Amino acid sequence: MRSLTFLSVSLVVALAGAAPARAQDKELVVVATGGAFEQSLRKHFYEPFAEQTGVRIRPVAASNAETWTKVKAMREANAIGWDIVTAWPEDLVAQADSLAKLDCSRLSNLASQAVDGACTERGLLRTIGGVSIVYDANRFPQGGPQNWADFWDVKRFPGPRAMPNAGAPWWPLMAALMADGVPRDKLFPLDLDRAFRKLDELRPSIAVWWRTGDQSMQLLRSGEVVMSMMWSGSGFVLKDQGMPVSVVWNEAVPNVAYWSVLKGGANEEKVYAFLNYYLTRPEAHVAFANAFKYDTSNRNALELLSAEERAVRGSTPENVAKMAVIDAAWVAVNRAAVIERWNRWLSK
């Protein structure tokens, strides 16, 4: 079980100034997506860390695109006001100049607590989930969509859809290619012309391009859409809240996130203290994981899960085998051009 989580990452991800004045001795600024996800991080990690160390975590909510836009501005102003950010695998390559190199030897809990390979040169593995099809089961009593071809089939599965516009347009582009028959492990390099043609077909049925996890959940709660491409964790939150939704792992896009440290920050010792603390307390990781069905880098937490709980996690061999394969190095090189074309397409 020790290397199960990182095994999933290796299978689905191909990785080829002065700080502004603030209470630096008592505060770390940590950037992640907001809403329920941030609240769970606060409950299980930020607040206990503050109680133990006296160092308060000040959370900042930002999408991936917002994060790197702000980081660029801070670097240009030589004023690094954040300490730890959320990074995706492609960010570890594309944003390497903004990220400090991690000294994994300073994480004393790494060997005893973390899955193999959790600490990389530019990030500490944080969470593993997926970007999945989530649908309202009440709207499809005979069974809902089980792959992206089904998601595109508005005759068999009628009703408005939602898809993400959350800074990673390669997610819906990958879905479009799978809907058009491209095997999940042969998506890269992305055939953008083909992907956008396929998106053109579905566009009249896309009611909303969501930007946040909370927005994606509210669209299903309200009935504004009958299905969505959304974070698996958000889907499971809806399920736990009693909504009759189904989360489909088949052809899900891996959603792997890291804690990364910004270069030029003034809180190095406290940053390492937090990262080291994050690796501990498997029970807290279980509680966090049960809220979102994301795995974390704590291998001991994985061993505390029941077979039923593991079945809905993105790191199980059964679910890994169903997921799409991302070439993060390709995304890192091409992301700016892809985002530019995506924005032009959306604005038509």
Helix (H, G, I), strand (E, B) or coil at 3: coil
- Which pLDDT tens digit goes with each residue over 138-195? 999 999 999 999 999 999 999 999 999 988 999 999 999 999 999 999 999 999 999 9
**pLDDT of amino acid 118:** 93
Helix (H, G, I), strand (E, B) or coil at 127: strand
Does the pLDDT value for residue 11 go beyond 80?
no
Give the CB-side neighbour count of residue 137, counting CA atoms within 13 A.
Answer: 11
Residues 36, 61 contacting (CB under 8 angstroms) = no
Q: Which fold does the domain 130-254+328-347 belong to in CATH?
A: D-Maltodextrin-Binding Protein; domain 2 (3.40.190)
Which CATH architecture does the domain made up of 4-128+256-325 adopt?
3-Layer(aba) Sandwich (3.40)
Q: Calculate the average pLDDT of the chain.
A: 91
Sequence spans of domains, the chain: 4-128+256-325, 130-254+328-347
Residue owning tokens 């809220």: 291
- Which pLDDT tens digit goes with each residue over 301-344? 978 988 888 888 887 778 889 999 999 999 999 999 999 999 99
Q: Which residue has the higher pLDDT, 71 or 255?
A: 71
Residues forming beta bridges with residue 261, ordered by sequence position: 84
Q: Residue 161: left (phi > 0), alpha (psi -120 to 50), or beta?
A: beta
Binning pLDDT at 50, 70 and 90, where does residue 34 land?
A: confident
Binning pLDDT at 50, 70 and 90, where does residue 29 land?
A: very high
Helix (H, G, I), strand (E, B) or coil at 261: strand
- Reported in sequence order, the residue ranges of the chain that DSSP labels E, i.e. its strands, are 13-14, 27-32, 56-61, 84-87, 124-136, 161-164, 206-210, 227-231, 245-261, 295-296, 326-327
- Which pLDDT tens digit goes with each residue over 101-129? 999 999 999 999 998 899 999 999 999 88
Q: Do domains 4-128+256-325 and 130-254+328-347 have the same CATH topology?
A: yes
First to last CA, the chain: 48
Binning pLDDT at 50, 70 and 90, where does residue 25 land?
A: low
